[in-house]
Amino acid sequence: MRRRTLARLTIAATSLSLLAALPAALAPAATADGGGHHQAYKRVGYFTQWGVYGRNFQVKDLDTSGTADKLTHINYAFGNVGPDGKCFTGNVPGEADAWADYVRPLDAAGSVDGVADTDGQPLAGNFNQLRELKAKHPGLKVLISLGGWSWSTHFSDAARTPASRKAFVASCLDLYIKGNLPVDGARGGAGAAAGLFDGIDLDWEWPGSEGDTDTVFRPEDKQNFTALVREFRTQLDAYARTLKKRKHYELTAFVPAAPAKIDAGFDVRRIMRDLDFVTLQGYDFHVSGEKTTAQQSALFARDDFSGDQTVRDWLRRGAPARKLVLGVPFYGQGWTGVTGGGDGLGQPAGGPAPATWAAGYEDYKALKKLAASGTYTVHRDRHNGHAWLFDGTTLWTYDDPHVLRTKSSYIRDRGLGGAMFWSLDGDTPDGELITAIDRGLKGR
């Protein structure tokens, strides 16, 4: 199974007019905890619930690849919000997958600790494997990410009133932070997942502006999102005070690149007071549904979306540099039927390129094989920080280790909070991309 959860951007000329560059003097300098000490950098990877199926990407792979050693946070994608405005799980096709989350048994070969799940244990599946991964890698934090492209449908309703916000937040804490999972056979029950999640990531796409086709949005979403963040912070802190051992539950959010979307849904100065950090959309600047090929994740671009412009837009609106974590893709956007010659970039295309899981979307590990096949030519814009493959007909725009080293240097130079990756299952079995980022953030 697979769900489209990517944060797609619609590129409009009116939005592009807002992308004038800030003066260089406004670029933040590296700070003591951002530019000099690599352990301060966040390295946040999304683990997709559905990746355990077709891609056969298991939690154990994070350990055997060495990836877990290079991560500070895993965001588990995703938790859903129901029509009643509350967090829920179950086995509902397209809406929830408790089987993958905590019911599915794994044998010894598939388990992080090398021990097979038993019939009577209350927690199995991905959740139990993440618990085992944390035990093996102390300091690694796991957050539940709520929403995503497909599951932001009811966020606006849940955040609409003080009462609905309180009920929504309470339900999410009960399910994930307190770990009170619905009973499913021998699995689940009160406290079954207690202690697994170290916080909550809000992935509402998007408050105040258009998202997926069925996602509700309203003009008042901006103020309601601010209040929702405050409510999460309040309830997380209150619950932490009841624990015998002091704990800080982290609260983060995935936020957009488009200035129009930022202004429609995010009171930046206020939400940043309550959020530990935000992960910036640093990809899908252009997507394979467009009629012309273009970069999807350039670090710099003239009169276009870019990672640098996204950072500057958030800084200009009052976000602290140390709380900005730049997102990078572990996949590529692709077009076929490209005409016009040259290196293929900026040329008309017939449509999304054929791919393994969804047309126009391919994991980096597959694109690496294309690059090595001899059929495609690797093109680089070293000044602007992006790469693409072109064989004369089909073009893929993506990030490889060369690009990610450039972006890591940028993060260090600007004193940013770190890097985020969508998604971990796109990397090679030996963790080539995460290794490039890890080394880059360490200045190696």
Question: Is 18's pLDDT higher than 80?
Answer: no
Residue ranges covered by each domain of the chain: 25-329+400-441
Residue 182's H or E segment, with its range, is strand 181-184
% of the chain with per-residue pLDDT over 70 = 91
Q: Which two tokens stand for residue 443?
A: 């200045």
Average pLDDT over residues 374-386: 96
Q: Does residue 78 have a cis peptide bond before it, meaning omega lies within 30 degrees of 0? A: yes
pLDDT at 32: 34
Question: Is 176's pLDDT higher than 50?
Answer: yes
pLDDT at 34: 35
**Residues in CB range of 408: below 8 A, 6 or more apart:** 419, 436, 437, 439, 440, 441
Active-site pick, 95, 132, 205, 231:
205
State pLDDT tens for residues 202-256: 999 999 999 999 999 999 999 999 999 999 999 999 999 999 999 999 999 999 9
Q: Are 89 and 181 in contact (CB under 8 A)?
A: yes
% of the chain with per-residue pLDDT over 90 = 91
Identity (one letter) of the amino acid at 81? V
pLDDT at 229: 99
Alpha helices (H) in 176-245, listed in sequence order: 221-240
Question: Is 383's pLDDT higher than 70?
Answer: yes
Question: Is 345's pLDDT higher than 60?
Answer: yes
Nearest to 391 by CA among 350, 346, 338, 314: 338
**pLDDT-derived band of residue 11, with 50, 70 and 90 as boundaries?**
very low
Q: Does residue 423 have a cis peptide bond before it, meaning omega lies within 30 degrees of 0? A: yes
pLDDT at 30: 38
Strand partners, 252: 201, 277
Would you give the end-to-end CA distance of the chain in angstroms? 39
pLDDT at 123: 98
Question: Is 15's pLDDT higher than 90?
Answer: no
State pLDDT tens for residues 429-439: 999 999 999 99
Question: Is 158's pLDDT higher than 50?
Answer: yes
pLDDT at 19: 35
Average pLDDT over residues 22-31: 37
Q: Which two tokens stand for residue 136?
A: 């093996």
Question: Is 13's pLDDT higher than 90?
Answer: no
CA diameter of the chain = 66
Q: Are 263 and 269 in contact (CB under 8 A)?
A: no
CA distance 368 to 253: 30
* pTM of this structure: 0.92
Question: Is 125's pLDDT higher than 50?
Answer: yes
Question: Is 338's pLDDT higher than 60?
Answer: yes
25-329+400-441: CATH architecture: Alpha-Beta Barrel (3.20)
Nearest to 44 by CA among 19, 67, 21, 65: 67
Average pLDDT over residues 318-326: 98
pLDDT at 435: 98
pLDDT at 293: 98
**pLDDT-derived band of residue 35, with 50, 70 and 90 as boundaries?**
very low
Average pLDDT over residues 391-418: 98
Question: Is 183's pLDDT higher than 70?
Answer: yes
95 belongs to the catalytic site: no
**Phi, psi (degrees; rounded to nearest 5) at 130:** -65, -35
Q: Are 310 and 321 in contact (CB under 8 A)?
A: no
Average pLDDT over residues 362-383: 97
Least confident interval from 19-23, 298-302, 414-418, 436-440: 19-23
